[in-house]
A and B are shown apart, each in its own frame.
Chain A
Amino acid sequence: MVRSGNKLKRIFSIVPLASAVAWAQGAFAQAPQSVFAPAGPVAQTQLNLLSLTLWIAIGIFVVVGSILLYTVIRFRARPGDPIPKQIQGNTTLEVIWTVIPIIILIVIAVPTVRDAFGLASPPPVDDVLNVRVIGYQWWWAFEYPDLGIVTANELRVPVGKVVNLTLESNDVIHSFWVPRLAGKMDVIPNRVNTMWFVAEEAGIYYGQCAEFCGTSHANMRFRVIAQPENEFHAWVEGRRAVEAFSPANDLVARGQAIFESTGTCFACHNVDGTAANGQVGPDLTDFASRTTIAAGLLANTPENLARWLRDPQAVKPGALMPRLPLSDDDIQALTAFLYSLE
Chain B
Amino acid sequence: MATVQESFPTQRAAILPRPKSTTGFWSWVTTVDHKRIGIMYAVTAIFFFLVGGIEALIIRLQLFSPDMNVVSADVFNQLFTMHGTTMVFLAVMPLSAAFFNYLLPLMLGARDVAFPRLNAFSYWLFLFGGIFINTGWFVNAAPAVGWFGYANLTSPAYTPGLATDFWNIGLQILGIGTLVSAFNFIVTIINMRAPGMTLMKMPVFAWTTLVTSFLIIFAFPSVTVGMILLTFDRLFNANFFEVAANADVVLWQHLFWIFGHPEVYILILPAMGIVSEVLPTFARKPLFGYSVMVFSTILIGFLGFAVWSHHMFTVGMGPVVNSIFSLATMAIAIPTGVKIFNWISTLWGGSIRFKAPLLFALGFVWMFMIGGLSGVMHSSAPSNAQQQDTYFVVAHFHYVLIGGAIFALFAGLYYWFPKVTGRLMNEKIGVVNFVLMFIGFNVTFFPMHFLGLMGMPRRIYTYDPALGLQFWNQVSTIGSFILAAGVAVYLYNLAVSLKKGELAGEDPWDARTLEWMLPNPPPVYNFARIPVVSARDEFWARKYEGAPAKEVAAGSEDEEDGIHLPGNSYFPIIMAGMITLFGYGLLYSGALAVAAIILTILSAMGWAFEGVGGTIIYPKGDAE
Could you list which residues of chain A lie within 8 angstroms of chain B, going by C-beta atoms? 24, 28, 30-36, 43, 45-47, 49-50, 53-54, 56-57, 60-61, 64-65, 67-68, 71-72, 75-78, 81-90, 93-94, 97-98, 101-102, 105, 108-109, 111-113, 115-120, 137, 171-173, 175, 177, 179, 182-186, 188-191, 193-194, 206, 208-219, 221, 296, 317-318
Given contacts A31-B454, A33-B455, A179-B455, contact A190 B466 (CB under 8 A): no
Q: Is the pair A218, B463 in contact by a Cβ cutoff of 8 Å?
A: yes
Give 9 A-B contacts (CB < 8 Å), ordered by A residue: A68-B366, A86-B285, A97-B338, A115-B382, A117-B323, A172-B150, A172-B152, A190-B249, A214-B159
User: B289 near A35 (CB under 8 angstroms)?
Assistant: no
Q: B495 contacts the other chain (Cβ, under 8 Å)?
A: no
Q: Do the beta carbons of B340 and A47 come within 8 Å of each other?
A: no
* Separation of A84 and B150 alpha carbons in the complex (Å): 53
Quick check: B73 and A215 within 8 Å, CB to CB? yes
- Tell me whether B350 and A116 are in contact (CB under 8 A): no
- A118 to B459 alpha-carbon distance, docked (Å): 31
Interface segment out of the listed B88-96, B351-359, B486-494:
B351-359
Q: Which residues of A lie under 8 Å from residue B327 when comparing CB positions?
A: 109, 112-113
Give every chain B residue within 8 A of A93 (Cβ-Cβ).
289, 341, 345
Whether A89 lies near B314 (C-beta < 8 A) is: no
In the complex the two chains form, is A101's CB within 8 Å of B334's CB?
yes
CA separation between A76 and B389, bound complex, in Å? 42
B153, CB-defined interface residue at 8 Å: yes
A190 touches B246 (CB 8 A): yes
* Among A85, A189, A212, contact of B146 (Cβ-Cβ < 8 Å): A212
**Once the chains bind, are A90 and B153 in contact (CB under 8 Å)?**
no
Whether B288 contacts A89 by the Cβ 8 Å rule is yes
**Is A72 a contact partner of B362 (Cβ separation < 8 A)?**
yes
Q: Which of B284, B350, B388, B469 contacts A184 (CB 8 A)?
A: B388
Contact across chains for B334 and A61 when beta carbons are under 8 A apart? no
Q: Is the CB of B74 within 8 A of A317?
A: yes
Inter-chain CA distance A121–B460, complex, in Å, is 31
Q: Do B369 and A64 have beta carbons less than 8 Å apart?
A: yes
- A109-B326, A113-B326, A184-B386 provided; 20 other pairs, C-beta below 8 A? A32-B468, A46-B385, A65-B369, A67-B344, A77-B351, A87-B285, A87-B349, A89-B292, A90-B289, A94-B289, A101-B338, A105-B333, A112-B380, A116-B382, A117-B319, A172-B150, A175-B314, A208-B460, A210-B457, A212-B77
Residue B559 at the chain A interface, CB threshold 8 Å: no
B349→A188 contact, CB < 8 A: no
Could you tell me the distance between the alpha carbons of A50 and B326 in the complex, rounded to whole angstroms?
A: 14
Contacts of A65 in B (CB 8 A): 366, 369
B-chain residues with CB within 8 Å of residue A88 when the two chains form the complex: 286, 288-290
Q: With both chains docked as a complex, state the minimum distance between the C-beta of A203 and any C-beta of chain B, in angstroms.
A: 14
Chain B residues with CB under 8 Å of A81's CB are 351
Q: Which of B316, B454, B459 contacts A212 (CB 8 A)?
A: B459
List chain B residues, Cβ under 8 A from A120. Answer: 318-319
Residue B390 CB within 8 A of the other chain: yes
Closest to A296 in B: B464
Q: CB-CB < 8 A to B458: which residues of A?
A: 210, 212
Q: Confirm or deny: B315 has a beta carbon within 8 angstroms of a beta carbon on chain A.
A: yes
B residues within 8 A CB of A212? 77, 145-146, 150, 153, 389, 458-459
Q: A29: nearest residue on chain B (CB-CB)?
A: B454
CB distance from B576 to the nearest CB of A (A): 32
Is B337 an interface residue, CB under 8 A from the partner? yes
CA distance A24 to B471 in the complex (A): 14
Complex CA distance for A128 and B363, rounded to whole angstroms: 53
Q: Judge whether B365 is part of the interface by a CB distance below 8 angstroms.
A: yes
Q: Give CA–CA (A212, B283) in the complex, Å.
A: 46
B377 close to A101 (CB less than 8 A): no
Interface contact A183-B382, CB-CB below 8 Å:
yes
> B440-481 CB contact bits vs A (8 Å, 1 = yes)?
000000000010011111111111101111000000000000
A218 to B461, CA, bound (A): 6
Residues of A within 8 A of B362 (CB): 68, 72
Min CB gap A49→B, angstroms: 4
| Shortest Cβ gap from A288 to chain B (Å) | 22
Partner of A175, one of B323, B373, B389: B389
Is B67 interfacial (CB-CB < 8 Å)? no
Given contacts A84-B284, A175-B314, contact A215 B74 (CB under 8 A): yes
Contact A31 B314 (CB under 8 A): no
B276 CB to closest chain A CB (Å) equals: 13
Residue of A101, A112, A186, A210 near B381 (CB, 8 A) is A112
Q: Does B239 contact A (CB under 8 A)?
A: no
**A189 with B344, Cβ < 8 A, contacts A75-B350, A117-B323, A215-B77 known:** no
- B27 located at the interface, meaning its Cβ lies under 8 Å from any Cβ of chain A in the complex: no
Are B315's CB and A98's CB within 8 A? no
Contacts of B457 on A, CB cut-off 8 Å? 177, 208-210
B330 within 8 A of A: yes
Give the contacts of B369-397 with A (CB-CB under 8 A): 369-370, 373-374, 376-377, 379-390
Q: Known contacts A31-B469, A112-B326: does B347 contact A75 (CB below 8 Å)?
A: yes
The list of the 6 closest CB pairs from A to B, nearest first, reads A183-B385, A33-B455, A218-B460, A317-B73, A57-B373, A89-B289
B291 (CB) vs chain A CBs: closest residue: A89
> Whole-angstrom distance between the alpha carbons of A97 and B454 in the complex?
34
Residues of A contacting B73 in the complex (Cβ-Cβ under 8 angstroms): 215-216, 218, 317-318
Knowing A88-B290, A108-B380, A115-B382, the reply to whether A191 touches B248 (Cβ < 8 A) is yes
* Interface membership of chain B positions 211-240, coded 1 if the CB is closer than 8 angstroms to chain A and 0 otherwise: 000000000000000000000000000000
